[in-house]
Structure 1
Amino acid sequence: MTTLLRRWSVLGRLSELPGPIRLIVLGQLAFNTGFYLVLPFFALHLTRDLGFGGALVGLLLGLRTFSQQGLFFVGGALADRFGTRPVALTGFGVRILGFLLLALADGAVLLVAGTVATGFAAALFSPAVEAELARRAGELERDDGPTRSEAFAMFGVAGEVGVVLGPVIGSLLLTVDFAATTLAAAGVFVVVLVAFARGMPRRPAAHAGEPVLAGWGEVLSNPAFLAFTAAYSTWLLSYNQLYLALPVELERGGAAGMLGVLFVLSAVLVVLGQVPLAELVRRRLGARALPVGFGVLALAFAATAVLIGFGTAGPVPAVVFVVLLTLGQMTVVPVAQDAVGRLAGERRLGAYFGVLASGGGLAVLGGSALLGSLLEAQGPPALPWAVTAALPLASAVVMGVLVRRVPALQPDHSLTSAERNSP
């Protein structure tokens, strides 16, 4: 029984990781806790407290998304050139500055500055942290430790805990005021900055002295990775429908009050299931999990479309969507993040992770505009869901081709060295 509980325990698995990797995993919990202290309440603050109109609120939210997701490729290239540690620490400092500006802001100028700083901070530290995790976890796997996909699974679990904790703490602090919430978020990142400065060992930049543009050139000359990025981008677009399409469906079904419950359901599924599922997927499927996982994502939209088409009322279509989407997420994401290092040849990981994230940002920008127009149209309510199902389905096909044809993605690469050498 103790062994079984340990297998399903995130904390138990964390004890198997070296200090720097453990710091990165726990740091992800802190990143999301601090970020989600503020994000869910930002639009409410702009409209209720500052009296801004919808156009300015939309502009500020769009600026945040662009300055974060759209600029990941910049942070990734800088991490390769100057080192993951200094770029990550700089990102933490910029995030602290951004939150301080938002706490002080009572007009558009400071709000724009704080919003851009908050977003760009993640464009600096996220690809740097992911590249460092990929590099160190890859080294650990080669020494027959936990695999890189398992390390990324733990990274994802920690992030989901932060997604739950942040809004809960933020809602309590919001009873004081928005400034107190943002100052608390800044305090979280002060702790993160100190922890990483003390606990993350210095190591030379992987490509010190080389031009920053050289990293982008190498990524853009890797056709297998570009195809992988295009296919993977529909994952972020699919996940974004928790914020766009899901509230619309709950409103249609008369269950708008269920939105928070479904977010908690998704987080609980990840916290309880991500690590054991990642281990099962690694042993049984390897990289073949990529087409399978995208197939599950497509099924999430298709099943929801069918349920809506048959007139299913209440929250049932939304619950089915969230459960299947989360299962697809848990299947795809750790394997895909491990695959980035393999496709990159373990080189320029910052640039590769940055371009991967920016590709997803572009997909969200274009795809959400299309889906938003379908949601607002007077057509059948199942139509947006059916159309969106085609996107991860196309990714499943592309991933299936890549897994068969690209050596770095073939199943035996997902095994540890001990398993590959076993009779």
Structure 2
Amino acid sequence: MNRLSLQLNRNAVVWWMQSATGVTQTTQFMVMPFMALYMSSHTHAAPSVVGLAVGTISLTSTVLSFLGGSLADRFGRKWVMALAMLVSTLAMLQFAAASSVWSFFVVSVLTGLSRALFGPASQAMLTDLTPPEGRSRVFGMNYWMNNIGAAVGPIIGGMIGSEAPKLTFYLAAGISAVYMAVIAICFPESRRPSREARDEVSLRDAIQILRTDYALIVFIVAGILTSIGYSQFDTTLPQFMQTLFGTHTASHDYSYIFAATGFEVVVLQFLVNRFSQRLEIGSVLLVSQAIYAMSFFGIGLSHTFIAFLAWSVILTLGEVMAAPRLAQYISMLADERMRGAYFGANSLSNLGFFVGPFMGGVLLHQLGAFSVFGVVALFALCAGPMYRLSHRMYVHRAKADARDGEKTALRI
């Protein structure tokens, strides 16, 4: 059997990517949610240093995602995705050997590089293979599969990690290696540019186009404010719980909170997505930010496991509303020649996942948990109107482009 006969058709690639996302995310969530606690217990680093190490994942991803997206546009999606899985394999192997502060920073850089390569390329491939009317459903399914991993991964990681933590790292590395092989052998290239197409939009041209897309710029700024807030759920919340309950109880309780929110997405995703489809994207994002703000205030005032769980569930409802529509919106904004670059540029929103953990660590140490969650609640209240403004700018631009197209047609 030759290699070409092993390649999947377009529909099979979309569905295989969805199922593989569930498997790979399960292994990732077995490991990464516990990085802050694992690093703290193995190095006894200060909360701000732990936050900086975790945030370095997002900093690396943010800095390199535009380059990763541009590489996917110029040379195709497939091999960029395969390279990302190779880097992920190396990151998990390094995690198994990590025992010092610097080694955890190496893990963070490799993990961030893997995300910078894989995220824009995979989202561009899904957009390439899916007609516009089906993209909301496809991105919703992709988000749903991510959260199956979020629901199952922490429970498995908590059970295995307490007895044999390195086993989880080796398992995650093995899954990434298998995924890399499947991409390399079985995936077709969804967009294979000709030599002329590669030169059509240079990296400098792409940067210039993105700099003048003001709807995208406003959207990214709102995303930074949102990610600063949401990063507290991954870093400040478990450390806050650690100060209240102790390391062992905090690790146990946080794993169940994380899993519960993942199951919430699995149960509610399609119902909430069907309802939100009736609303314009700007309105959906405005409502989701209001839910974020309320939840952050509630978490900051909480002191029991039940309270943390309840407010986390409410917070996740806002995420369920917003997440599929965010990816759909970028696919609408993107120039067809630059889908990877647009998805990569959107990763600048992840700058908040670098700033947020460090900011949260400092505020938690100096002023307490309520100061952290009160500040990010205010950020959410600012981000909502900005998302809505971005969508209105896009709609205005689309109408103007349509009028220009009609005028051009009449002249012809």
Q: Over the residues paired in the alignment, what is the CA RMSD in angstroms?
A: 3.2
Residue 32 of structure 2 is matched in structure 1 by 39
Contact 2:69/2:341 (8 A) holds in 1: yes
- 409 and 29 in structure 1: CA distance in 2 versus 1, 3 angstrom threshold: farther
Residue 375 of structure 1 is matched in structure 2 by 364
SS in 1 for 2:233: coil
> Aligned-pair distance for 1:216?
2.6
Contact 1:81/1:212 (8 A) holds in 2: no
1:54 is the counterpart of 2:45? yes
Write the deviation string for residues 256-300 of structure 1: whole angstroms up to 9, x where unpaired.
453222112211110011122112211344442121222221222
- 302 and 59 in structure 1: CA distance in 2 versus 1, 3 angstrom threshold: closer
For 1:406, give the aligned amino acid: Y
Contact 2:236/2:357 (8 A) holds in 1: no
Tell me, in whole angstroms, the C-alpha distance in 1 between the residues paired with 2:50 and 2:236: 19
Write the deviation string for residues 291-311 of structure 1: whole angstroms up to 9, x where unpaired.
122222122224445xx3xxx
1:243 corresponds to which of 234, 238, 243: 234
Tell me, in whole angstroms, the C-alpha distance in 2 between the residues paired with 1:316 and 1:111: 32
Residue 175 of structure 2 is matched in structure 1 by 188
5+ long unaligned stretches in structure 2: 1-9, 400-412
1:223 corresponds to which of 189, 210, 214: 214
Residue 325 of structure 1 is matched in structure 2 by 315
TM-score scaled by length of structure 1: 0.78
2:336 corresponds to which of 333, 343, 346: 346
Comparing 284-293 and 221-230, the one that deviates more: 284-293
Contact 1:292/1:396 (8 A) holds in 2: yes
Contact 1:302/1:385 (8 A) holds in 2: yes
Residue 143 of structure 2 is matched in structure 1 by 156
Counting matched residue pairs gives 380
Residue 363 of structure 1 is matched in structure 2 by 352
> Aligned-pair distance for 1:232?
2.1
Write the deviation string for residues 177-225 of structure 1: whole angstroms up to 9, x where unpaired.
4443322212101221222234322244455234334323321221111
Tell me, in whole angstroms, the C-alpha distance in 2 between the residues paired with 1:258 and 1:236: 23
1:274 is the counterpart of 2:261? no
2:253 corresponds to which of 254, 258, 261: 258
1:27 is the counterpart of 2:15? no
Residue 94 of structure 1 is matched in structure 2 by 87
1:393 is the counterpart of 2:381? yes
- 252 and 40 in structure 1: CA distance in 2 versus 1, 3 angstrom threshold: closer
Residue 405 of structure 2 is matched in structure 1 by none
- 75 and 397 in structure 1: CA distance in 2 versus 1, 3 angstrom threshold: same
Residue 110 of structure 2 is matched in structure 1 by 117
Comparing 278-287 and 38-47, the one that deviates more: 38-47
Tell me, in whole angstroms, the C-alpha distance in 2 between the residues paired with 1:366 and 1:168: 28
1:288 corresponds to which of 266, 283, 288: 283
Residue 403 of structure 1 is matched in structure 2 by 391
For 1:373, give the aligned amino acid: V
Residue 10 of structure 1 is matched in structure 2 by none
Tell me, in whole angstroms, the C-alpha distance in 2 between the residues paired with 1:197 and 1:57: 36
- 383 and 185 in structure 1: CA distance in 2 versus 1, 3 angstrom threshold: closer
Tell me, in whole angstroms, the C-alpha distance in 2 between the residues paired with 1:247 and 1:355: 30
- 287 and 133 in structure 1: CA distance in 2 versus 1, 3 angstrom threshold: farther
Higher helix share: 2
**Which has the higher relative contact order, 1 or 2, with Cα contacts under 8 A spaced 6 or more apart?**
2
Write the deviation string for residues 371-404 of structure 1: whole angstroms up to 9, x where unpaired.
433322346x544333221111111111222333
1:197 is the counterpart of 2:179? no
Contact 1:291/1:397 (8 A) holds in 2: yes
TM-score scaled by length of structure 2: 0.80
Tell me, in whole angstroms, the C-alpha distance in 2 between the residues paired with 1:370 and 1:104: 28
Comparing 251-260 and 80-89, the one that deviates more: 251-260
- 113 and 232 in structure 1: CA distance in 2 versus 1, 3 angstrom threshold: closer
Tell me, in whole angstroms, the C-alpha distance in 2 between the residues paired with 1:86 and 1:190: 14
Contact 1:127/1:350 (8 A) holds in 2: yes
Comparing 53-62 and 147-156, the one that deviates more: 53-62
Residue 165 of structure 1 is matched in structure 2 by 152
Tell me, in whole angstroms, the C-alpha distance in 2 between the residues paired with 1:323 and 1:102: 30
For 2:362, give the aligned amino acid: S
Tell me, in whole angstroms, the C-alpha distance in 1 between the residues paired with 2:118 and 2:56: 18
For 1:280, give the aligned amino acid: F
Write the deviation string for residues 1-46 of structure 1: whole angstroms up to 9, x where unpaired.
xxxxxxxxxxxxxxxx921211221222133123223324555665
